[in-house]
Each structure stands twice: as C-alpha cells, then as structure tokens.
A and B are shown apart, each in its own frame.
Chain A
Amino acid sequence: QKEVEQNSGPLSVPEGAIASLNCTYSDRGSQSFFWYRQYSGKSPELIMSIYSNGDKEDGRFTAQLNKASQYVSLLIRDSQPSDSATYLCAEKLTFGTGTRLTIIP
C-alpha cells in the first residue's frame, strides 16, 4: 500500500464551483503535509502546507488536516480554468499519485 493515497481522478468541476481533493496517509506520526500543483511537463509548485489539525486558508485555497482520521484535503473555491492541473499531496518526501483536475468553463 502506498504511504500517501489520493482520491482517484480525473476530477471535472464547473467553473466557479468548489473543487475538493482528498488524500489519506498511513503513518500516524506524520507531521508535515503539502499540496503541490503541477501543470503538464512542468515542475510541482507548492501551493499549501499544513502541520496542525484544522483548516488553513490562503486566498481561494483551504487545506484541511485531520490527524485522527489521517486525511488531508484541499478545497479550491471559485474554481478557474487556470486551476486545471494535477494536484499532488505530499507527506514530507513522499508524493501521492496525484489527481488531475479539469475546470470546465
């Protein structure tokens, strides 16, 4: 079993709606979680980091961490076509398989 699992994609969301991306992890001792956005052929770009239980908001992005249930999620509000990319959840050095998100105009 992969240490970091992401909900299978691809995911299509209408423009302006909320996109929800989920990730679960196996190591209960994990402390650091990151969400990266990767456009095709480009390098991963860090968009959110979260270390403690609860929500962390940054503009249209909200990361949620629940250590008891061992999941991390990313919410994108008011989705834009430019949000179309693959989103990678990472626990320290380990990446999930990524979820391809497409925002439909």
Chain B
Amino acid sequence: AAGVIQSPRHLIKEKRETATLKCYPIPRHDTVYWYQQGPGQDPQFLISFYEKMQSDKGSIPDRFSAQQFSDYHSELNMSSLELGDSALYFCASSFLAGALTEAFFGQGTRLTVV
C-alpha cells in the first residue's frame, strides 16, 4: 500500500540558509500534518492543512511557513535556519472527510543545521 512520502530524507544546511521539505500524502488523504522531533523529544505539532487550507497551528516558528497544493502535497519552508532547528521533521496524513482521524507518518526528513 502507498505510504506518506517525504523528501529529502536527509538535508544539511548552514545557519541562516533556507530549506524546503516536501510531503506527499497517502492517495485520497485530504489532511496533512507537520511535526518536529528533536533528539530524545516527543513529536511537536507544527501545522496542519485540510483541503488545502490551514486547519490548525501549533508551535511553528514565524520563520517557517507551509502550504498544501492542489494535488494535496505539502511543503514546509524554513528560513533563517538556526542550529536548534536540527531535528527530524515528520509529515503525516489522514482522511478527515471519511471521519478517519488516524494519522499515518512518513519516514521523516532529518535536517542538520551546521
């Protein structure tokens, strides 16, 4: 079965640079969630989109922005990167219109800021 696809899997950036993470949800899923997980930490919810509109917002820094496109894929844009942004970034998707709120996660993007 198709799963959530994230790219790239690994990314190394320097401080103050910009990074773009991509997420392709499971086909027919209408909702995308972004999480940040630091070393030894639980996943922290950043932002979610339902039907291409922002549906919920968590602890996303102002330096970050995200959107969901017409084909339901989503991109997380991160600017002015800081060392503390180094983390695993997970995308998850679900099918809310079908009242199925289970979220399935992608393999994650490991971002290292140096």
Chain A positions within 8 Å of B, measured between CB atoms, are 32, 34, 36, 41-46, 49, 88, 92-98
Contact = CB atoms under 8 A, between A and B. Distances in A.
B106 A43 contact: yes
Contacts of B108: 42-43
Contacts, number: 40
A44 B90 CA distance: 9
Interface of B: 33, 35, 42-45, 48, 56, 58, 88, 90, 101-108
The dominant DSSP class at the B interface is strand
Given A43-B106, A45-B105, A93 B42 contact: no
Give the dominant DSSP class at A's interface: loop
B102 A93 contact: no
A49 B102 CA distance: 7
